[in-house]
Structure 1
Amino acid sequence: MPTSAPLVSAPAATLVGRRPAVGADRLIADLVPPPRFDQVRFSSYVPNPAEHSQAVARDRLEAFAATVGAPQKKGGGLFKKKAAAPSAGGVYLDGGFGVGKTHLLASLWHEAPAPREKKAYGTFVEYTSLVGALGFATAVERLADFALVCIDEFELDDPGDTVLVSTLLTRLSDRGVKLAATSNTLPDKLGEGRFAAADFLREIQALSSRFDVIRVDGPDYRHRDLPTPPAPVAEDAVRRTVDERAAATLDTFDDLAEELAAVHPSRYGALIDGVSAVGVTGVRPLDDQNVALRLVVLIDRLYDRKVPVVASGTPLGELFTPELLRGGYRKKYLRAVSRITALARDGVALAEAEAEMEAEAEAHADSVAVPAAL
């Protein structure tokens, strides 16, 4: 359920018009699991009983966590051969979206026996943004001091960015940094929940021998035993809901899309700093890939921070046109739909709670007015 916030009965603020400034130090400091995963641990990961690989993945990753910060073994002898890259230098969680890979990755970060300031956690996009802000050499130097670097949602659909991050990880691995990564694949690739390990290992090339692949099978847990995506909220209900909630925002869909074009994706997290709920009116299907990809990044940041979304217009399950879903970024769009659906459920709960309170207030006013009329 969404977190509570005081009622304010005032017009909501907007995301449009914000221009957050994000420096390099904040980009480094922000490399921690997002609020949604603050409290996750291996013990709180609940494997699907029908998917044995999930429990196995948890146990293998927990064993890997114990190696973080441990001194590397060194061979002796005057004529010893050059040491091979350690097979346990990195782990890759291979599975479809919604099987708990991020939960496991965040648990690794939390439970690895190294100080917080020696562990980094971020999405693929956050690492590319970091390199863009600091420059490649400086990013390597800043991260080489870490014991563990976790990369969630490693992306394989942009060759330039893939080579960039692969090279970054190679440099870090050479410096003894432990690595852990996940990526998402289409649920219909080789069947529901099957995988991109071969693609991942091919794209990271020389680094691939240093990764152990851990498979995580299963359907998207966000839709396990849950109802179908909620219907859109009426526009007047969207407005009432966010107006009554402290630190909520309200924007039209088109205005928000235009605003995202003016803010670098690395700043989308800062864009929603302190926001308790996001109201959006006039949602419509997107057929522009640039707009759609920016919205995907925003949805990821909202999901990370557990920010409810209250939306009117087109059902969120139809946010991306069939043409986009047939393209090369299909996996991103499906993940975004899965996540925005979860946030929309929280948004509907907010709207229903506000409607109930309004009805109770009206009933109370009526009960007080009746004696006066008599």
Structure 2
Amino acid sequence: MSAPRLSDRDPRVEPDELVGAMVPPPRFDTVRFATYLPNPDEPSQAAAVEACEAFAERVSAGERGWFGSLFRKSPQDKPGLYLDGGFGVGKTHLLASIWHAVPGPKSYGTFVELTNLVGALGFAEAVRRLSAHKLLAIDEFELDDPGDTMLVTRLIKELAAAGVAVAATSNTLPDKLGEGRFAAADFLREIQSMSAKFTVVRVDGPDYRHRGLPDAPEPMTDDELTARAEGTPGATLDDFAGLCARLARLHPSRYGRLLDGVTAVHLRGVAPAPDQAVALRLVALGDRLYDRDIPVAVSGAPLSELFTEEMLRGGYRKKYLRAVSRLVALSR
């Protein structure tokens, strides 16, 4: 029997589901501060754990403790915590640990999911719902275009005024967001106003997903890939070009629902992304595959060649390197 295709699926997420669905992905269901293992050669990692624990304690202290902190002058008492660092250093682990440590109501989502929430509910309704929460955790924070910049800077301002704590992860310092992607200098005031609300915590170190591990396996032949997909219950098999075309017709916030019930993804005829739009969709899909710990097998080009050298020199370099890191880990 032929394996089903992801590109045949049509996932739907109703607006009323969106807030309730804002929880850490399955991979991070059980993570806690105690399960983060700092690299002894990278002192910033142990310091980051301490900073995150202290932040979670302040947020958990309740209305009096939290609002009191807003009026103290200590830079450690800013309404937001921003984890900055390279890929594979455990920032998402720490963000999910903050979320687990803080009592509800609370929300957790990727930057893409947050912007989609605002688009689906409308700005005022999104602010109303999120303002009732103690914490908003935002993974993969990035400003890719002027619209995102204006939307998110205003959202964070409104939520901070309502006493909501915001914790975020990113590969880019908050005052450098958008550089190399759009005319960020034109939005410098908005970006600086937002970044001033965060205490930045740096997390350094090598990518833990590849410490002492071999390179990605060689791509399979088409016949080997098909046989493996058809012999794996719950697996899917797609032509790479066809899946890329399908992703173009889906909002990235629906990519997670696209993978519901899937045990392994098989991609036939993988080739370098033809342009930036396709590449960024593949990044979003790779993040959702990683969140759900879904193995990936391919034929054609290896996953390490998914993004061209020109792309890796551009403004989205860090996103592409993170995607390669995660997809290669899944391919093992």
Mark yes or no: TM-score above 0.5. yes
Work out the percentage of aligned pairs sharing the same amino acid: 58
Q: Structure 1 residue 24: deviation in Å?
A: 1.1
Structure 2 counterpart of 1:220: 207
- 1:30-87 Cα offsets, whole Å, 9 max, x none, are 2110011111000000111100110110011111111124223578xxxxxx957883
Work out the CA distance in 1 between the residues paired with 2:16 and 2:220. 40
| SS of structure 1 residue aligned to 2:39 | coil
Work out the CA distance in 1 between the residues paired with 2:193 and 2:242. 44
| SS of structure 1 residue aligned to 2:245 | helix
- The answer to whether structure 1 residue 48 and structure 2 residue 39 are counterparts is yes
User: Is the contact made by 1:157 and 1:328 (CA closer than 8 Å) also made in structure 2?
Assistant: no
Q: Structure 1 residue 219: deviation in Å?
A: 1.4
Within 5 Å, which residues of 2 pair with 1:1-374? Answer: 10-69=1-60, 70-72=62-64, 83=71, 87-112=77-102, 114-115=103-104, 118-185=105-172, 196-200=173-177, 204-345=191-332
Q: Look up the equivalent residue of 2:222 and give its one-letter code.
A: E
- 1:7-50 Cα offsets, whole Å, 9 max, x none, are xxx32111112111111122212211001111100000011110
Work out the CA distance in 2 between the residues paired with 1:151 and 1:126. 9
Work out the CA distance in 2 between the residues paired with 1:328 and 1:54. 26
- 1:188-244 Cα offsets, whole Å, 9 max, x none, are xxxxxxxx2542596632233332111111111111111122211222221111111
User: Is the contact made by 2:238 and 2:267 (CA closer than 8 Å) also made in structure 1?
Assistant: yes
Gaps of 5+ in 1: 1-9, 76-81, 186-195, 346-374
| Moved segments of 4+, more than 6 Å | none
Structure 2 counterpart of 1:367: none
Structure 2 counterpart of 1:190: none
Q: What is the aligned length?
A: 317
User: Is the contact made by 1:277 and 1:308 (CA closer than 8 Å) also made in structure 2?
Assistant: yes
Q: Flag the structure with larger Rg.
A: 1
User: Is the contact made by 1:289 and 1:324 (CA closer than 8 Å) also made in structure 2?
Assistant: yes
**C-alpha RMSD of matched pairs (Å):** 2.0
TM-score (norm 1): 0.81
Q: Look up the equivalent residue of 1:64 and give its one-letter code.
A: F
Q: Look up the equivalent residue of 1:129 and give its one-letter code.
A: N
- 1:77-111 Cα offsets, whole Å, 9 max, x none, are xxxxx957883311111111111100000011011
Q: Look up the equivalent residue of 2:128 and give its one-letter code.
A: E
Cα distance change, pair 157–85 in 1 and its aligned pair in 2 (3 A): farther
Work out the CA distance in 2 between the residues paired with 1:47 and 1:301. 25
Gaps of 5+ in 2: 179-187
Cα distance change, pair 72–50 in 1 and its aligned pair in 2 (3 A): same
Work out the CA distance in 1 between the residues paired with 2:308 and 2:36. 34
User: Is the contact made by 1:36 and 1:306 (CA closer than 8 Å) also made in structure 2?
Assistant: yes
Structure 1 counterpart of 2:181: none
